[in-house]
């Protein structure tokens, strides 16, 4: 039930990566808790929440479905306060950040971060400057991290010949590869074992595919071709 003594506000959340989207993920939970704590201390009641999951901070503000729904709600029900965790959750790039703030300000809406900063305050030029600097710094830090991770991947690829993707049998289960090579090397009853026979013996030793079934002949062929470190 709505509390008539509290000012009404809506929450806006954004998560950049798909890997951070889900009920058990920290990003949205952390944002909700920061928004809830501020709203409680400042006398606001959160009456709705709008969320843009897996949306980059660089994405144009007008292309975000959650933000578009937030604007529709604001225009329809008279709520004039939006609370976010911090300015980087709103947008990382300065341009979409400022355009989004302008979209809210033009509708008479106040955008407040969970530390109490009024991000729509354009009367104080120092606050405007600091908000823009914070956005530019956040953009710089993200670009730096992307560049750093790419450099690490490139170095690993140069050193090992690979970086990402599925691990080879030699990497994930070297004991199985050793056994497969041993079975292929030593004949039985005067003849070499077939790939299917090797697969059957691997199964007997507890080495099976992820499905729980016996390895296919092609899988055994790949094992035999792989080098052990």
Would the pTM count as exceeding 0.85? no
- Residue 196, both tokens: 């299917």
HSE at residue 54, side-chain half, CA atoms within 13 A, is 4
Q: Determine the pLDDT at residue 140.
A: 64
Contacts 24+ apart (CB under 8 A), 20-27: 21/53, 21/54
Nearest CA to 86 out of 168, 145, 31 is that of 31
Residue stretches of the chain with pLDDT short of 70: 1-5, 17-25, 127, 130-131, 134-135, 137-138, 140-141, 160-165, 229
- Residue 25, both tokens: 């993920």
Q: Determine the pLDDT at residue 1.
A: 45
Residue 62: DSSP 8-state? G
Q: Determine the pLDDT at residue 54.
A: 79
Angle 148-153-53 from CA coordinates, rounded to 5°: 70
Nearest CA to 92 out of 57, 125, 140, 52 is that of 57
Residue 153: DSSP 8-state? H
Concatenating the DSSP letter of every residue in 83-128 gives EES-HHHH-SSHHHHHHHHHHHHTTT-EEEETTS-BTT--S-HHHH
Q: Determine the pLDDT at residue 179.
A: 92
- Residue 178, both tokens: 């050793």
Angle 91-23-56 from CA coordinates, rounded to 5°: 20
> Are 180 and 224 contacting, i.e. CB atoms less than 8 angstroms apart?
yes
Q: Determine the pLDDT at residue 90.
A: 78
């Amino acid at each position: 039930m709505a509390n008539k003594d509290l000012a009404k506000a809506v929450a806006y959340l954004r998560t950049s990566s798909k890997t951070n989207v889900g009920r058990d993920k920290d990003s949205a939970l952390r944002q909700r808790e920061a928004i809830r704590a501020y709203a409680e201390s400042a006398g606001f009641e959160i009456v709705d929440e709008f969320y843009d999951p897996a949306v980059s901070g660089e994405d144009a503000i007008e292309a975000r479905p959650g933000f578009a729904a937030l604007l529709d709600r604001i225009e329809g029900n008279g709520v004039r306060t939006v609370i976010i965790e911090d300015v980087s959750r709103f947008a990382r790039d300065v341009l979409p950040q400022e355009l989004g703030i302008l979209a809210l300000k033009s509708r008479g809406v106040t955008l407040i971060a969970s530390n109490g900063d009024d991000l729509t305050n354009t009367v104080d030029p120092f606050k405007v400057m600091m908000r823009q600097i914070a956005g530019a710094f956040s953009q710089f830090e993200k670009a730096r991290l992307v560049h750093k991770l790419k450099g690490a991947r490139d170095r690993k690829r140069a050193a090992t010949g690979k970086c990402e993707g599925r691990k080879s049998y030699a990497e994930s289960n070297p004991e199985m590869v050793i056994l497969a090579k041993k079975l292929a090397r030593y004949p039985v009853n005067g003849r070499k074992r077939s790939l299917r026979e090797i697969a059957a013996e691997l199964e007997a030793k507890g080495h099976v595919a992820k499905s729980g079934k016996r390895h296919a002949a092609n899988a055994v062929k790949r094992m035999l071709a792989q080098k052990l470190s």
